[in-house]
């Protein structure tokens, strides 16, 4: 049984709220329990409370968001024997898109943009609609140009989430719904399909042209008879999040993946079962969006001439564009000698 938490975000008039309404009905016939966490900002605006400034307003939105999320947590805590799907109409991270001073906002709410990522297993980022489809409302006051600027801020706030998927705009609402259902159905399979490329070590200018989110990862493999069992510390500035992951490979480029966030104490306890024949892999992960696909570029401390570029797909034949400023050496998706598990066993 599983609980999947998916946050919907995007610019005003990107269709996320309307899509969410349809999906709630669609998945109620397919999943044991479906919950929707309503958009907190709309609720706060409807209260007609007066606020000192945008920071004061976003503080109220944050408090309402936490209240709404806690109510859902109370409902799902006794559903361990059920398959549960939770949709969030925007998340805590969205508040950072509307303020200029990230540190000031952090001091107000006490939760960083980075740690807010991990409230949600997956983030679906909706591209704004086409200009001729854009319309204002009582709670949407931005014109199209302002909405586009806000979209850029939302993207910059969410890039770095470990599981981000970009939902491109579509000519029809039905087409957009279809795209979202394809993404969610794939997520629910708990499979990973990726293309992996060996690349030349990128120059600083080439890498920074993609405005990446950069974090540090320490990855340790554990003794296991089931598959690739590992723990990972993911660090950004002075904050760490810990994971336990089990991968069971189906094909060289596909695997079933079970992943959970663990406590620091659990992480260090699991490290006691580290495979003595494998090194801890240390790398810098650079995450960025390019033409609708989410890329992860890994720089290792034992290579100064090459690196890896990875992209997750819904199917192995899905079309996508490779970043033009990244120099590809070769596709190593099916080569076991370039799996992190293999590299960890080498004398580096």
Tokens of residue 18, six digits: 């309307």
Q: What rounded mean pLDDT belongs to the chain?
A: 92
Q: pTM for this structure?
A: 0.92
pLDDT at 257: 87
CA 279 to chain CA centroid, nearest Å: 27
Q: For residue 89, is pLDDT > 90?
A: yes
| Nearest partner of 61 among 96, 20, 14, judged by Cα | 96
* Residue 249: predicted pLDDT: 85
| Banded pLDDT at 281 (limits 50, 70, 90) | very high
* The predicted structure's pLDDT at residue 296: 98
What digits encode the pLDDT tens for the residues 199-209?
Answer: 999 999 999 99
Lowest mean pLDDT among 14-28, 105-119, 244-258: 244-258
**Which pair of structure tokens corresponds to residue 276?**
């003595």
192-344: which CATH topology?
Hypothetical Protein Pfu-838710-001 (2.40.320)
- Residue 241 CA to residue 264 CA, distance in Å, equals 8
Output the DSSP codes for 42-85: HHHHHTT---SSHHHHHHHHHHHHHHHHHHHHHHHTT-TTS-EE
pLDDT band of residue 145 (cuts 50, 70, 90) is confident
Beta carbons of 299 and 200 less than 8 angstroms apart: no
3-188 has CATH 3.40.50.1970 classification:
no
Name the region of 94 (left: φ>0; alpha: ψ -120 to 50; beta: rest): alpha
Tokens of 337: 């000698």
CA–CA gap between residue 319 and residue 58 (Å, rounded) = 39
Beta-strand pair 164-167/33-37: unpaired
Query: Which strand (E) or helix (H) includes residue 158?
Result: helix 144-158
Is residue 136 very low, low, confident or very high in pLDDT (cuts 50, 70, 90)? low
Express as a percent the part of the chain with pLDDT over 90: 76
pLDDT per residue as tens digits for the range 169-192: 888 889 999 999 999 999 998 888
* Averaged pLDDT, 242-265: 90
pLDDT surpassing 70 at residue 1: no
Distance CA 279, CA 275 (A): 8
Comparison of pLDDT for 286 and 346, the residue scoring more:
286
Give the helix/strand (H/E) hosting 6. strand 3-10
Would you state the pLDDT for residue 215?
Answer: 97
Domain boundaries, the chain: 3-188, 192-344
Max CA pair span of the chain: 64
pLDDT at 307 over 90: yes
Distance CA 7, CA 152 (A): 18
């Amino acid at each position: 049984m599983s609980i999947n938490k998916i946050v919907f975000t995007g610019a005003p008039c990107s269709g996320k709220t309307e899509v969410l309404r349809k999906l709630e009905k669609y998945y109620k016939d397919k999943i044991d329990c479906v919950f929707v966490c309503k958009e907190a900002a709309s609720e706060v605006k409807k209260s007609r409370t007066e606020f000192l400034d945008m920071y004061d307003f976003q503080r109220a939105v944050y408090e309402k968001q936490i209240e709404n999320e806690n109510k859902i947590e109370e409902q799902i805590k006794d559903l361990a024997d059920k398959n549960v799907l939770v949709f969030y109409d925007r998340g805590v991270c969205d508040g950072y898109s509307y303020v200029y001073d990230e540190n000031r906002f952090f001091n107000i709410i006490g939760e960083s943009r980075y740690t807010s990522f991990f409230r949600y297993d997956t983030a679906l980022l909706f591209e704004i609609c086409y200009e001729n489809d854009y319309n204002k409302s009582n709670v949407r006051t931005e014109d199209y140009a302002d909405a586009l600027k806000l979209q850029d801020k939302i993207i910059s706030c969410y890039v770095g989430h470990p599981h981000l998927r970009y939902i491109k705009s579509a000519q029809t609402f039905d087409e957009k719904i279809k795209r979202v259902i394809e993404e969610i159905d794939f997520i629910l399979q708990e499979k990973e399909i990726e293309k992996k490329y060996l690349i030349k070590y990128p120059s600083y200018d080439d890498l920074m042209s993609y405005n990446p989110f950069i974090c540090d990862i320490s990855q340790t493999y554990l003794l296991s008879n089931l598959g690739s069992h590992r723990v990972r510390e993911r660090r950004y500035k002075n904050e760490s999040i810990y994971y336990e992951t089990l991968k069971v490979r189906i094909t060289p480029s596909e695997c079933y993946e079970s992943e959970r966030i663990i406590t620091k104490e659990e992480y260090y306890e699991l490290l006691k079962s580290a495979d003595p024949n494998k090194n801890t892999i240390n790398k810098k992960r650079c995450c960025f969006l390019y033409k609708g696909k989410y890329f992860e570029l890994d720089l290792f401390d034992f290579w100064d001439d090459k690196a890896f570029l990875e992209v997750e797909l819904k199917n192995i034949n899905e079309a996508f564009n490779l970043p033009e400023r990244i120099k590809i050496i070769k596709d190593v998706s099916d080569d076991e000698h370039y799996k992190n598990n293999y590299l960890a066993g080498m004398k580096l």
